[in-house]
Chain A
Amino acid sequence: MARLKGKNKIRDLLSGYSFMAPTIIILGCFLLLPIGYAIYLSFHKVNLLGTVSYKFTGTANFERMVDDPRLWIALRNTAKYALIVVPAQTILSLVLASILNMKLRYRNFFRVAFYLPTVTSSAVLVLIFMWIYNSNGLLNYLLDLVGLPTYNWLGDPSVALLGIMIMNIWSTAPLFMVIYLAALQDIPENLYEAADIDGANGWQKFWRITVPQLKPVTFYVVVMGIIGTFQLFDQSYIFSAGSGGPNNATLTMVLLIYQYAFKSMDMGYASALAFLLAVVIMLITLIQRLIFKEERLN
């Protein structure tokens, strides 16, 4: 019996590692190794000409951040972006999910239809919105029709970021709507029945039962929204043809990192910026995991 057990153990060891082998190789080479490498890079000046060479510069890359005006612009844009986009998409997705959760007819059609922007690539979405935003485009036509002022959405620094915000709320809200929909199914029906007996109206039930019951999910949605805004890249890159313009209005953190790494070829400083951004995002994720305890492992 003992010998059989030992044989099984070896068999499990062999099969376990052969099942894991592709994952170990891929994640090891392109995730674990790069993490260490990123930290190394952020303390070096990288010379890419000829053979790649590194010069240790201590914390110079990090010190440089303080005096980098473009970094502060990117951070300010991100903050502005998060302050508007995150609440807007959270409320919109909650409202849509709540309506879809009622026993209405055709709700499956609406659910599928609303999700469409989430399926579409960011490259396509930006191009479609740029086409709608152009100075004699659909949006200005509609604004003019109802007597509102029109804007040069693509070229005016004061509204360019707003243009990306609108697009992002529109394209991300459906994703959170689905998460809310799943959470709404989990609210015990008897809470509503009890409220019915007490004579609560629909609005009261929404505010007193639905919203409080959804608190953990709302927290999750807000945190994921913030992380999403920190990672914004495709939209502003395509919108501004890689420049972050007009006048740095659409410059985001990731776009800034991209510019330093692949336009100025300053891989060391870009790595330091990426490292900083990653630490911030990981802290937010960690806090969310701790509070939300979403990880029910087994």
Chain B
Amino acid sequence: MAEFKRIFIVGATSAIAEHCARLWVQKAPVEITLIGRDQARLERVAQDLLVRGPQVRAHAVTADFLSADAIEKIVQDTVGDGAVDLVLIAHGILPDQQACQDDLGACRQALEITAVSPALFAEAFAKRMARAGTGTLGIISSVAGDRGRKSNYVYGAAKGLLTRYAQGMQHRFAGSGVKVVLIKPGPTDTPMTAKFKDQGTKLIPVEVAAAQIVSGMEKGSPVVYVTGIWQIIMLVIRHLPRFIFNKMDL
């Protein structure tokens, strides 16, 4: 019997994560665990994957994403004693910057769900991957985390935290069988970015983003920029001198 690859996705109802899952189930027999906050939506995703993949076992589980204990427990319960092949941590929200400036509660919530929670999930999975000495952990950060900008620095700071986190983990696992892949999609066509689409921003199709993430994780690339152009744009933005940067409306 074919060996089932064990895949875990946190934030599995996010559009990018869902499209990655579709690609994984078509490639090989997989046992996929979908972790999210809404059981019914997770089950609809699982149902879809069961049709798409000829050999799929899918589990849909919910957890409290803001509780360290709950995160530890859900990872323990789902991983058990087995090895992990792939983990993708994909959750986060794109908050309204102005709302975060006006309301510290909203600001805190955005930081917790977009930065703290994914970091805790990453740590919990990393512990088990370190023990097994194998597996690939993908963390979805963002090009917005490369430099803080006035238009979205709450989101950018949260993603920046994940970027540093992933870099640290890469250092920790260097030379081992565990790979940590930092993923930086540019603006991708998902429900999260619908308002940008209306404003005429050119968005990356979600299927394209997913295909690059899946191939980047397969190769174990340290950093996956979803399109090369964003790597260049962010290189420029990161290195702009402050006196120029501060005059720009970004």
- A and B are interacting partners: no
Residues of B within 8 A of A (CB): none
Residues of A within 8 A of B (CB): none
